[in-house]
Amino acid sequence: MKKNIRIYFYVFSVLLIAGNMFLGKETSASTFQDVPGQYQREISYLFTNNVITGYPNGEFRPNQAVTREEAATMIGRALKLDGTRQKTSFSDVGSESYASGYIQSAYQKGIIQGDGNGLFRPYDNMTRLEMAYLIVRAFNLNETSAVNFTDMPTNPEAAAVVNKLKTAGITNGYPGNVFMPNKSITRIEFALMVARALNAEFRTADETVKPVTKYVTADVLNVRSGPGTGYQIIGKLTYGSAILVTGQSGTWYAITYNGKTGYVSSAYVIDQPTQTTPPNQQPSKKKTIAVDAGHGGSDPGASGNGLVEKDITLDVATRLQKYLTDGGYKVVMTRNNDTYISLDERVNYAVKQGADIFISIHVNSYTGNSANGTESYYYNGGNHATESKQLATFMQKRLVNELDTTNRGVKTNTYRVLKTNTIPATLVELAFITNSEDAKKLGSATYRDKAAHALYLGVIDYDNWDGNN
């Protein structure tokens, strides 16, 4: 009998300790006496939104280390994942674990991973680098900038994750320009990162600048809740609008918008006001763009990871058509449905319709799954080799930046839609459908839209270059 009592007491104690971060609201956020005053807003925000709670005695214990199962639970609550206790894919996380539902839900969405041996290690302390991976995956952070912590991980993938976390304004690291990737993350550090990921008002900036007025150069410029295209659009600004810049995070400006903090891409902002008429309303002629969705109909193209090339290319082409149309361009679509069209027909139709440039959209494949990344092609012959090379170069730069893929470079080829074309032309390979990581992006509506937006920006880059040459 005494043995059973001891076992019961042990189980009760473990559950109490493990679940303390997620207890009911007996404790009010305002009573966390051990939370530094400068962090009360973030902690109260998380508490109010049921992401965290404190201990029954009113403490938050900000300097206590966070375990991997606690981290998975907080992320799960932040993303409103299914927390119902369930069987997991990890042998060391049983269905009786309070975190099992969140761990399995996050695993299924690719947010968390095990150790490669079928284990999750739920009771291990989470490191700051592991947290960086968790936040970047959970909130789809993809923007990078010139981040130079002195202790950046030597592994390129890990370094990129830390870069994205810093660029998004989730952390500024420690004094002395260090990140300390292998240090166990504390409850306060974890909470602050989650709060900043959820709410842009809490984010740090790479640089706090003296408020200065700048001006919008895009016809329509999206204002986002955070520094990146993955964040929610909270408003739009029109050409020539004056904005008050209050900070900078990577390539994004923090601005004051409707009394709150918003973010705009610095690429479409200048220091001085320019012409008052938007470019698409000026007398100068906008180019006609031929958009060619590769393959179609009886020609499916490449396939892999449950995806088919002809479906991806048509989706991206349709999204690009909208971007171009909204930007004032005339668009010629070689196909706008699942139809087979020969290569010569595509080229001839575009030329007859008066297209000025030709963009053929494809995805790549390989016999193995290791090949990955983005590449763009042009034909190094004919009367438009220089223009075609420049067009391909602009497309490649924009695609790699938006998709965060490996840069395989700009290359020459004699593809028929390039060689027989009488106008500047490029063929882009967005990513590898046979590579699991690339395929995740190709199958994502978000990344397909990023690809379309990148191609649109490439058109603008080429248009500006062509107008000055």
pLDDT tens-digit readout, 76-93: 999 999 999 999 999 999
Q: Are residues 336 and 322 in the same domain?
A: yes
Whether 19 and 166 map to the same domain: the answer is: yes
At 409-431, the pLDDT tens digits run 999 999 999 999 999 999 999 99
Kindly state whether residues 452 and 418 are assigned to the same domain.
yes
Range of the domain at 11: 2-202
Say if residue 254 is in the same domain as residue 189.
no
State how far the Cα of 198 lies from the Cα of 45, in Å rounded to an integer: 10
For residue 277, being part of any structural domain is answered with: no
Please indicate, yes or no, if residue 279 is contained in any of the structural domains: no
Distance in angstroms (rounded) separating the CA atoms of residues 52 and 64: 14
Same domain (yes/no): 180, 307: no
110: DSSP letter:
T
Q: Each residue of 200-220: b (16+ CB within 10 Å) or e? A: bebbbbbeeeeeeebbbbbbe
- Asked if residue 109 and residue 169 are part of one domain, the reply reads yes
Average pLDDT, the chain: 84
Q: For residue 280, tell me if it sits in a domain.
A: no
Range with the lowest mean pLDDT among 156-165, 222-231, 302-311, 339-348? 222-231
Highest mean pLDDT among 217-231, 241-255, 427-441: 427-441
216 versus 416: the higher-pLDDT residue is 416
Encode pLDDT of 249-290 as tens digits.
656 787 888 777 788 887 788 776 654 444 444 434 579 999
Residue 15: pLDDT above 50? no
Confirm whether 461 is domain-assigned: yes
Helix (H, G, I), strand (E, B) or coil at 389: helix
Q: Give the pairing of strands 357-364 and 220-224.
A: unpaired
Q: What is the pLDDT of residue 151?
A: 87
**Mean pLDDT for the stretch of residues 39-49:** 85
**Res 22: pLDDT:** 39
The predicted structure's pLDDT at residue 281: 45
* Residue 255 within a domain: yes
Q: Which residues pair with 432 in a beta bridge?
A: 364
- Assess contact for 114 and 90: CB atoms under 8 A: yes
Residue 74, pLDDT > 70, answer yes
Q: Are residues 310 and 458 in the same domain?
A: yes
pLDDT band at 210 (very low <50, low <70, confident <90, very high): low
User: How confident is the model at residue 14, as a pLDDT?
Assistant: 35
Q: Which amino acid is at 295?
A: H
- Say yes or no: 122 and 21 in one domain: yes
For the segment 148-175, the average pLDDT, to the nearest whole number, is 85
Q: Which of 202, 219, 236 is the last residue of a domain?
A: 202
Q: Is 348 domain-assigned?
A: yes
Please state, for a pLDDT cut of 70, what percent of the chain lies above it: 86
Give me the pLDDT at residue 175, please.
66
214 and 255 both lie in a single domain: yes
Q: Are 200 and 256 in contact (CB under 8 A)?
A: no
User: Is the pLDDT reported for residue 54 higher than 80?
Assistant: no
Q: How far is CA 341 from the centre of its chain?
A: 34
Same domain flag for 107 and 234: no
**Residue 122 in 3-state DSSP?**
coil
Q: In the chain, how many domains are there? A: 3
172/426 Cα distance (integer angstroms): 40
Average pLDDT over residues 312-337: 93
Are 363 and 302 contacting, i.e. CB atoms less than 8 angstroms apart?
yes
Residue finishing a domain among 175, 202, 229: 202
Report, as an integer, the average pLDDT of 300-321: 94
The answer to which of 5-9, 258-262, 334-338 has the lowest mean pLDDT is: 5-9
pLDDT (mean) for 176-202:
88
Yes or no: say if 115 and 121 are a contact pair by the CB < 8 Å rule.
yes
In this structure, is residue 432 part of a structural domain? yes
DSSP β-bridge partners for residue 377: 411, 427
Lowest mean pLDDT among 141-145, 275-279, 303-307, 370-374: 275-279
Same domain, 256 and 292: no
42 and 170, same domain (yes or no): yes
Q: Which of 202, 226, 243 is the last residue of a domain?
A: 202
**In angstroms, how far is the first alpha carbon of the chain from the final one?**
91
Q: Is residue 17 part of a domain?
A: yes
111-122 average pLDDT score: 88
Mean pLDDT of 371-394: 95
Q: Kindly tell me if the per-residue pLDDT of 2 is higher than 50.
A: no
Distance CA 286, CA 329 (A): 6
pLDDT (0 to 100) of residue 420: 96
The pTM (predicted TM-score) of the whole model is 0.46
CATH number of the domain encompassing residue 458: 3.40.630.40
Q: Per the structure block, which two tokens stand in for 179?
A: 């990140």
> What percentage of residues in the chain have a pLDDT greater than 90?
50
Residues involved in catalysis: 429
